[in-house]
């Protein structure tokens, strides 16, 4: 409780708005650098005290969302011990390296994260050569996070199998190992709630991952509820212009956008996206990847608002704004991840949908084909992400390019993947069924049109049944021990 109150007080100082208090995080990092002088390091007692202070300060700044300042503190500490070949020196150096890796991953600075990761493994090897055992779990966890960001999902799985450690939640979700993912995230949420309570930032971190899982298993209403809880906790703890509040706003914006996609009611989603962008614009540089992500979400929302608008000038304005946001996001993703990355592919797919709305059909086709090619290579031909892009290309061929044979094949492929992964009530099936219904009407295949009219009605009844049941995403408990769960589901 005292820690959360300290975060709240610190954020209040950051939000005061004066020239000095806006930079209090920088002032603390600079003051620590000036404190850890060669003279301080020459005395053993002062050295230990100074390094312990740096570790505590770096942790606090990272927890508070001031990642760059946390990185600077860790770097000062690491430089002070990197040439110390003693057991204690190597342990400290590795500890600082792993903490820096965590901060770089969280701050989306993946090029530097790769360099830090290499240094960390070099230190781990030096400890191993001396016959010194140490806990590798955190290092491998951060290494997995870096590999995941690079879309190296098979390498994440191989690393976990080789070292007999639990796969990360995100890797399980992307590999569509939903049962494993569900076990992992419910265990994490249960333990966080049990240990920290329901109003702690660490609990909100577990809930954020739970929201990601729910969104990916098509439990959209539950995801919205969970993301709202995350935002409520983080606003209560941090408030103001805080990175973690902004991330919660962005995730809630996207979940709300997906939830309201059929209704066209995007006011709440847009408000959350605008809040995320406003916060991030004040605390990050304009080309930061986290800001780019929020812009992508806003672009998706603006496109849907534009399509539903009866004002042509307003429609054109929103579509052009969405295009600018998507192009910025694509360029930053390519710089950060390269061409062969799922995030890059998603941006191509987003542009494909936008260009279709702008009646730039040839460009839309090229974007969708790029997205499909990258996703198939990274995720395989039967992945959810592939199905999304396939369905979008089918829509383009059906509604705007009159390529009905190609569209029909793509719709069937998208439906097959969606049903195999999520079942007959999967929300994404609606758009494929409506597309086939339109296609068969247009081509005069009346029997098939009637068939898909009935299929769509059956699907709608299934969705209504799901929506009428009361959703309680946190109404679960974990009774088994961690050891038994790991043994049963992850090390067999």
Q: What tokens were used for 184?
A: 């992992």
> Please, are residues 329 and 296 in contact by the beta-carbon 8 Å criterion?
yes
**For the structural domain made of 350-467, what CATH number should be given?**
1.25.40.10
Which residues have CB under 8 Å from 51's CB, separation 6+? 36, 77, 80, 81, 92
Whole-number Å distance between alpha carbons of 342 and 333 = 10
Whole-number Å distance between alpha carbons of 90 and 85 = 6
Q: How much is the pTM?
A: 0.89
In the predicted model, what is the mean pLDDT of residues 412-435? 94
DSSP letter string, 359-399: T-HHHHHHHHHHHHHHHHHHH-TT-HHHHHHHHHHHHHHHH
Burial 216-236 (b: 16+ CB within 10 A, else e): bbbbbebbbbbbbbbbebbbe
Q: Is the dihedral of CA 477, 479, 484, 488 positive or negative?
A: negative
Q: Please write the tens of the pLDDT for every residue from 266-283.
A: 999 999 999 999 999 999
Instruction: Report residue 492's pLDDT band, with 50, 70 and 90 as the boundaries.
Output: low
Q: Please write the tens of the pLDDT for every residue from 131-172.
A: 888 878 889 889 988 988 888 877 776 666 555 555 566 667
Q: Please write the tens of the pLDDT for every residue from 292-347.
A: 999 999 999 999 999 988 899 999 999 999 999 999 999 999 988 899 999 999 99
| DSSP 8-state assignment for residue 21 | G
Q: Please write the tens of the pLDDT for every residue from 336-387.
A: 889 999 999 999 999 999 999 999 999 999 999 999 999 999 999 999 899 9
Whole-number Å distance between alpha carbons of 114 and 431 = 41
Q: Please write the tens of the pLDDT for every residue from 209-247.
A: 999 999 988 899 999 999 999 999 999 999 889 999 999
By C-alpha distance, which of 54, 36, 56 is closest to 46? Answer: 36
In the predicted model, what is the mean pLDDT of residues 185-211? 93
Q: What tokens were used for 444?
A: 């005069």
Whole-number Å distance between alpha carbons of 327 and 363 = 13
Q: Where does residue 456 rank: exposed (0-12), middle (13-18), buried (19+ CB within 10 A)?
A: middle
DSSP letter string, 273-296: HHHHHHHHHHHS-TT-HHHHHHHH
Share of the chain above pLDDT 90, in %: 66
Q: C-alpha distances in angstroms, 16 versus 9, 19, 22?
A: 11, 9, 7
Q: C-alpha distances in angstroms, 25 versus 30, 32, 69, 227?
A: 9, 11, 6, 28
- In the chain, domain spans: 350-467
């Amino acid at each position: 409780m005292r820690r959360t109150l300290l975060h709240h007080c610190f954020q209040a100082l950051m939000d005061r708005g004066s020239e000095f208090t806006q930079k209090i995080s920088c002032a603390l990092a600079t003051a620590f650098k000036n404190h850890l002088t060669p003279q301080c390091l020459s005395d053993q007692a002062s050295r230990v005290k100074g390094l312990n202070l740096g570790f505590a300060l770096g942790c606090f700044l990272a927890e508070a969302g001031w990642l760059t300042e946390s990185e600077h503190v860790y770097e000062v500490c690491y430089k002070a011990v990197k040439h110390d070949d003693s057991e204690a020196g190597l342990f400290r150096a590795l500890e600082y390296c792993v903490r820096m890796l965590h901060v770089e991953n969280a701050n989306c600075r993946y090029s530097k994260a790769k360099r830090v990761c290499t240094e960390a493994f070099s230190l781990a090897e030096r400890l191993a050569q001396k016959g010194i055992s140490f806990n590798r779990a955190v290092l491998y966890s951060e290494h997995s996070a870096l590999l995941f960001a690079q879309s190296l999902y098979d390498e994440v799985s191989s690393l976990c199998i080789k070292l007999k450690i639990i796969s990360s939640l995100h890797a399980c979700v992307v590999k569509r190992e939903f049962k494993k993912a569900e076990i992992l995230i419910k265990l994490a949420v249960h333990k966080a709630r049990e240990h920290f309570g329901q109003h702690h930032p660490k609990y909100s971190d577990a809930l954020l991952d739970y929201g990601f899982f729910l969104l990916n298993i098509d439990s959209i209403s539950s995801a919205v509820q969970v993301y709202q809880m995350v935002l409520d906790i983080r606003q209560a703890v941090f408030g103001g212009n805080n990175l973690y509040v902004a991330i919660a706003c962005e995730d809630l914006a996207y979940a709300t956008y997906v939830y309201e996609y059929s209704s066209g009611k995007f006011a709440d989603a847009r408000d959350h996206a605008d809040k995320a962008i406003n916060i991030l614009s004040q605390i990050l540089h304009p080309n930061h990847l986290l800001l780019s992500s929020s812009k992508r979400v806003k672009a998706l929302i603006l496109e849907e608002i534009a399509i539903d608008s009866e004002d042509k000038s307003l429609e054109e304005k929103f579509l052009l704004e969405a295009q600018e946001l998507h192009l910025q996001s694509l360029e930053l993703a390519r710089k950060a991840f390269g061409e062969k990355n799922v995030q890059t592919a998603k941006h191509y797919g987003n542009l494909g949908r936008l260009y279709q709305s702008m009646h730039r059909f040839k460009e839309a086709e090229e974007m969708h084909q790029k997205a499909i090619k990258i996703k198939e290579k990274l995720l395989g031909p039967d992945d959810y992400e592939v199905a999304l892009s396939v369905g979008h290309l089918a829509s383009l061929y059906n509604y705007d390019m009159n390529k009905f044979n190609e569209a029909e094949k793509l719709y069937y492929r998208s439906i097959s993947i969606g049903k195999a992964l999520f079942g007959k009530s999967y929300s994404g099936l609606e758009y494929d069924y409506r597309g086939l219904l339109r296609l068969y009407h247009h081509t005069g295949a009346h029997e098939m049109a009637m068939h898909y009219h009935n299929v769509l009605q059956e699907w709608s009844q299934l969705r209504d049944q799901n929506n009428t049941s009361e959703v309680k995403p946190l109404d679960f408990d974990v009774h088994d021990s961690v050891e038994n769960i790991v043994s049963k589901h992850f090390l067999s």
